[in-house]
Amino acid sequence: MIVTTLNRRYAKSILELANEQNKLEEVRRDMALIAKVIDSSRDLKVLLKSPVVHADKKQSILTEIFGNQLGELSNAFISIILRKGREAELEGIAIGFQNLYNVYKGIEEATITTANELTTQQHDEIVAKLKAVTGSQIEIKQIVDPSIIGGIKIRVGDKQYNGSIAYQLAQLKLQFKDNAYIADF
C-alpha cells in the first residue's frame, strides 16, 4: 500500500501524541494489528471505503472486530478518523505510523527471501551481520519462496543482495548465450 502525504500527516500526529503520553509501544502494537487486519480482509477494505455505510456503523464494526485489543488512545484516534471521514485511509495511516516509528527508533526493515524457513540460529546470524553492516537495529520480514531453489535474497532499504541459486543459474545462462567461443550454425 502506498502511504500518502495525508497518511503520513495523521501517522505523525498519533506518533507524537503517543510519545507525549508514553504509550508509543502500545500504539505501535495497535497500528500493526490494524494494518494486518485490514490488509487480510478485502471485505473490510471495501466497507471502510464505502460512502454508503455511515460512520457510526463503521465504528461499531471496528469495535466488534478489535474489541478490547486496542488501547484507549488508538480507539480515540480511530473515532477521530471516522469523524473526519478518513476511514478509507486507516490502513495507510497504520503503515505510515509503522514507518515513522522505525525511523524514530532507528530500525531498518530487512526482507529476506529463502527457499525454506530459516532456523533460529540462521535468523540470529543474519540479524547480527546486517546490524554490523547497517549500524541500525534490524527488523526482519521473511518470505519463503521455493522458486529461488536455494540461497538467499536480502533487501534492506534500497540495497539488495541476490545470492539465490535461481539468480545464479540465470546469470550462467546469459554468459553461455553470449559466449563468443561457440560458433552459431
Kindly report, residue by residue over 101-113, the tens digit of the pLDDT: 999 999 999 999 9
Strand 107-114 relative to strand 152-156, pairing? antiparallel
What is the largest distance, in Å, between two alpha-carbon atoms of the chain? 76
pLDDT at 183: 60
What gap in Å lies between CA 69 and CA 89, rounded to an integer? 20
pLDDT of residue 42: 95
Total domains present in the chain: 2
What's the pLDDT tens digit per position in 59-113? 999 999 998 899 999 999 999 999 999 999 999 999 999 999 999 999 999 999 9
Could you report the per-residue pLDDT of 133-162, keeping only the tens digit for each? 988 999 999 999 999 999 999 999 889 999
Distance CA 182, CA 45 (A): 57
Q: What sign does the dihedral 44-68-1-81 (CA atoms) show?
A: positive
CATH number at residue 98: 1.10.520.20
Residue 185 maps to a domain: no
- Please provide the average confidence, as pLDDT, over all residues in the chain: 92
% residues pLDDT > 90 (the chain): 85
End residue of a domain, out of 71, 103, 135: 103
Looking at the fold, whether 121 and 156 belong to one and the same domain comes out as yes
Q: What is the pLDDT of residue 89?
A: 96
151 is a domain residue: yes
Query: Is pLDDT above 80 for 182?
Result: no
User: Do 86 and 157 belong together in one domain?
Assistant: no
* 18 and 84 together in one domain: yes
Instruction: Kindly report each contact of residues 120-127 with a partner whose C-beta sits within 8 Å and lies 24 or more positions away, as own/partner.
Output: 126/152, 126/154
pLDDT, one tens digit per residue, over 20-43 is 999 999 999 999 999 999 999 999
Domain boundary among 75, 103, 131: 103
Cα–Cα distance measured from residue 29 to residue 179, given in angstroms and rounded to the nearest whole number: 54
Confidence of residue 1 (pLDDT cuts 50, 70, 90): confident
pLDDT score at 149: 92
Output the domain CATH number for residue 172. 3.40.30
Are 158 and 136 in the same domain?
Answer: yes
> Which of 103, 118, 146 is the last residue in one of the domains?
103
